[in-house]
Structure 1
Amino acid sequence: MKRIHTLLCLLLLLSYSIFAEDQNLEEESAKGNDAEISEALLAFEELKNIIQDNYAGYTEKVDQQKKQFALLNQSIHQSITQGKSQDYPLEYDRWLSFFEDPHLILMKEGKPLFVKKDYSHYVHHEMGVIILNPTTAIISIPSFEMQYETDINNMLQDQYSKLIDIENLIIDIRGNGGGSFFSMFPLLDLIGAPEYESSWKVWASRDNLRLYKSALNHYEDTESREYILISSIVSKMENNRNQFVSYTYPKINKEPQLTHIKKIYILADRYVASTAEEFILGAKHNPKVILVGEKTEGALDYGDAIPYQLQSEGLMILVPTQKRIWKNHPPIDNRGIEPDFKINPETENIYEQILEY
C-alpha cells in the first residue's frame, strides 16, 4: 500500500509539473498574442489619424454616414481585440473600403497589398504613332506617368509632319491608369479642347504641406509649369492651414493644331483611370471626339495621393490630398465614363472596326 501511495504521489508531481509547463506556455503565448494585438491596435489608430488629418475626402464621406462609420470602427476594434481576425492588414483595408476611393490604397514594398483588379483582359500596346492609311493615324499612349511627359511631348513634335493632313485620328489609351496632367496636356493641345478647365481643392494639413514642399526639391527646372503650379499651391497652403485651397490647371489651346481632322476616336477600356479619364473629359469638349471601347474605371473625384508610412506595421498608405471641383460633369468615382460606342477592347482588327462606326 505504501508503494502505491508513493507511486501516486510521483504521478501527481509529474502531472503538476506538466500542467505548470503547459500553463507557462499558454501564458507566454497569451503575452505574445497581447503584444500582437496591441501593435495592431496601435497601427489601426495610426491609420485612422493619418486619414482623418490628411485625406481630402474624410469629412465629407464620414458626415454622410456617421452611424455606419461608428459601427465600422467598433467592429474592427472588436475583431482585433477579441482575436476574431489575425490578418490585421485585411482589417485596415476593410476600414479604408468605407471611403470607396480607388486612390486610397494600402501598400507594401511599393505595391498594392491587395490586388482588386482583374488584369486578365489587359491589352498591351507600346507608345507610338502609327500611320494606318493615308487619312488615318493612331496615337498609342498606355500611360501618362510623369516620367513619360518628355517622351510624349517629343513624340508628338517629331511625328507632327505625318499627322498634319490626317482626317481620322484614333487615340489608343487602353490600360492607361493615369499619371501626370502635364503628360496629357500636349495631346489635348494637339487636338484642341475649347472651354476645358480642371479645378481642384487641396487639403492644407500640416503633413500635406510638408510633403508638398518636399516635392519641390525634386524639380531641377524651377521654371517648368509643374514647379510654378506646385509653388503657388504651397504658398496658398501656408496661408490657409487646415483648410481647402483652390487652384486651376493652365488653360489648353482652344484651337486644334491638326486642322484637317474630321473625327477623333478615343479607345478606352476598364483599366483607364484617373488622369486618363481627365484626358477623356477634356477631349470631349471637342465636338469631333467619339469615345469608343468600354466604360472606364472611375477614379477621379480625389487625387494627388501622397504616400504615408504606417510605422507600426511597416505598411504604406496612399492618401489623396486633393478633391476635384466638378462643374459641368457629375463625379465619376466607381461609376466611370460610358463610351459613345461600345466595342470589345480585345477585338482583333479593332482599329479598322472603329473606322466603320
Structure 2
Amino acid sequence: MTKRIFISTVFMLLTSNLMAQNCDCLDNFNFMVNKVSKNYAGYNDKINLNNKRAFSQLTNNLLSRSKKTTNIDSCYVLLRTWTNYFKDHHLRIQLDWRYREKYPNKLSQLNKQIPKFKNLPPPAKDTLAKEASLKQLNDKTLLIALPSFEWDEKKKIDSIIKKNQVLLSKTPYWIIDLRGNMGGNDLTYSPIIPYLYTNSIAIFPSEYWASEDNIKNYEQQLKDKSVDDEAKKYIADAVALMKKNIGSFINPGGKDTIYVKLDSIYEYPKKVAFLIDRNTASSAESLLLTAKQSKKVTIFGENSYGMLDYANSQYFDIFCTEYNLIIPISRSKRLPRNPIDNIGIKPDILIDNNEKQKINLIRLQLEK
C-alpha cells in the first residue's frame, strides 16, 4: 500500500512538472482566458452587451496568432495585449522574476510592443526616496517618505513610528511623500492612521467573487503559518460564504459602508500634507481615501495613478514557468458610483509637474 502511494505521488509530481514546463502559447492563452473569465472580479463589469462583439473579435484574433507563436517573449506580448483590454493594472500576465533577472533589458523592450490603455507623459524628474524614512526639516515640520507599502516595508514603517514617537507627538506639521508609491498592502500604513484621525472614517469594503479557484487559493492561505490569526479568521469566514454563493459576490463584513471611530484625537500633528504624483497607486490611494476625510489633511501634487477598484490580487499557476498570472478577486463597494481606476484621486492643491522645490513649497504653505 505504501509503495503504491509513493508511485502515485511521483507520477503526480512528474505530470505537474511537465505541465509547468508547457510553454506552448496556445495552451497558455486558453488557460489565461479560462482563469480570468471564471475568477476576475471585474470580468462581468467590463464585458457587456456594448463591447462583447469587439472583445470576442480581439480574443479570436489573438487566439489565432497564439497558434503560430513559439517564442516566450512574443507570447508574453500577446497575452499581455489581451489582459490590457480590461484596463486594470491589477490584472496581468507578467514575466517571472527569474526570467527578468536573467534578461534584465527585455522587459522594457517588450512593454513598448504592448498596446497601452493609459498614456501618461513621463513623471517629473524628481529625486524620489528609495526607502521609508523620517527627516526633521526644522523644529516645526517633519518629512516622512513612504515610497512603498509592500509587506516587507511594514517593519521599517513600524520601527520609524516607534523610534520617533516623541518627535511625532510634538511636531505640528508633517509632509508625507507618497510619490512613486505603487502600493502593496493596506496594513503596512496602519500606524499612520491614528495621527491623522479627527472624525469618524467611512470605509467602503471589498466584496469577493466566489469561484472554485478563488476558494482554493484562500484555503491554501489558511495553511500558511506566516498568516496571523486575525487574517485567518477573516479568510475562513470569506471561504465559508464563498462556498454557499458560487458564481456571485460575497461581502464578509456584511455592510456597504463601515464607519471607524477611534478613542482619541492626537493634538499633533496639527496639519498633514500628502505629496502625490501620477505613480501613487493602489494601497497608497487607499490611504489617500482615508486621509482625505481628516480635517488635518491637505493633498498636494497631481492626480494619482488610478488603480484601486479591483484588488486582492491572487497568483494563479500557469503552464509556462516564465509567466505569472495575477487576477484581482475583489471589487470595491464604491462601485459603480465612485470609480478610481484610470482616473485617480485629485489633489486639493495642484503643483506643476516641473516645479523643482515641491517639498519646500508645501512646507512654506503649512507654516504660514
TM-score > 0.5, shorter chain as reference = yes
Partner in structure 1 of residue 90 of structure 2: 103
CA distance in 1, matches of 2:221, 2:353: 37
Partner of 2:189: 184
CA distance in 2 between partners of 1:310 and 1:79 (Å): 19
Are the equivalent residues in 2 in contact too, given 1:299–1:336 (CA < 8 A)? Answer: yes
Higher radius of gyration, 1 or 2: 1
- Secondary structure at the aligned position of 1:174 is classed as coil
Task: Give the partner amino acid of 1:343.
Answer: I
Give the 3-state SS of the residue equivalent to 1:267 in structure 2. strand
1:78 aligns with 2:84: no
Structure 2 match to 1:246: 251
Q: Distance in 2 between matches of 1:346 and 1:160?
A: 35
Cα distance in 1 for residues equivalent to 2:188 and 2:299: 20
Partner residue in 2 for 1:29: none
Aligned-partner Cα distance in 1 for 2:316–2:216: 12
TM-fit CA distance, 1:334: 1.0
Distance 2:268 2:152 in 1: 31
Q: Where does residue 145 of structure 2 map in the other structure?
A: 140
Distance in 2 separating the partners of 1:260 and 1:313: 50
* Aligned 8 A contact 1:265 1:291 in 2: yes
User: Deviation of residue 149 (structure 1)?
Assistant: 2.0
Q: Which residue of 1 aligns with 2:46?
A: 61
1:91 corresponds, among 78, 88, 111, to 78
Question: Percent identity at matched positions?
Answer: 26
Match of 1:247, SS state, is coil
- Corresponding residue for residue 336 of structure 1: 344
Gaps of 5+ in 2: 1-22, 101-105, 113-119
Is 1:305 aligned to residue 293 of structure 2?
no
**Counterpart contact for 1:185–1:252, Cα < 8 Å:** no
Counterpart position of 2:266 = 258
Give distance in 2, aligned partners of 1:132 and 1:158.
17
Amino acid in structure 1 at the alignment position of 2:271: K
Residues 290 and 185 (structure 1 numbering): CA distance in 2 closer, same or farther, change over 3 Å? same
Q: Does 1:206 pair with 2:212?
A: yes
Q: Match of 1:275, as an amino acid? A: S
Q: Distance in 2 between matches of 1:180 and 1:257?
A: 25
Identify if the C-alpha distance between structure 1 residues 89 and 295 changes in structure 2 by more than 3 Å, giving closer, same or farther: same
Give the whole-Å Cα distance in 2 for the aligned partners of 1:109 and 1:350: 36
CA RMSD in angstroms comes to 3.0
- Note the alpha carbon deviations across 1:208-256, whole angstroms, 9 max, x for none: 1111121233344643x43332232223223322321113498655466
| Partner Cα separation in structure 1 for residue 348 and residue 207 of structure 2 | 30
* Larger mean Cα displacement after TM superposition, 340-349 or 147-156: 340-349
Asked whether the 8 Å contact 2:302–2:353 carries over to 1, the reply is yes
TM-score by length of 2: 0.77
Distance 2:75 2:86 in 1: 18
What are the ranges of 5 or more consecutive residues in structure 1 without an aligned counterpart?
Answer: 1-37
Secondary structure of the residue aligned to 1:282 is helix
Q: Secondary structure at the match of 1:196?
A: strand
Structure 2 CA distance, aligned partners of 1:151 and 1:98? 37
Distance 2:55 2:187 in 1: 37
Cα gap change, 1:279 to 1:356, in 2 (>3 Å): same
Judge which range, 53-62 or 256-265, deviates more: 256-265
Tell me the number of residue pairs that the alignment of Structure 1 and Structure 2 aligns.
319
CA contact (8 A) 1:175 1:271 kept: yes
Partner SS for 2:273: strand
Provide, for residues 44-65 of structure 1, a one-character-per-residue CA deviation record: whole Å limited to 9, x for no partner: 2111101011111111211152
Aligned residues of 2:202 and 2:258 also touching (Cα < 8 A): no
SS at match of 1:290: strand
Q: Deviations over 1:299-355 (max 9, x none)?
A: 001011111232057422111111111079711111111211122567444322112
Using a 3 Å threshold, how does the CA distance of structure 1 residues 132 and 82 change in structure 2: closer, same or farther?
A: closer
The match for 1:127 among 111, 128, 132 is 132
Distance (Å, rounded) in 2 between the aligned partners of 1:256 and 1:135: 23
- Taking the aligned partners of 2:232 and 2:192, their CA distance within structure 1 comes to 20
Question: Is 1:135–1:167's contact at 8 Å kept on the other side of the alignment?
Answer: yes
Structure 1 residue identity aligned to 2:84: S
Q: Matched residues in 1 for 2:247 and 2:274: separation?
A: 39
Give the aligned residue type for 1:276: A
Assess, with a 3 A threshold, how the Cα gap between structure 1 residues 58 and 162 changes in structure 2: closer, same or farther: same
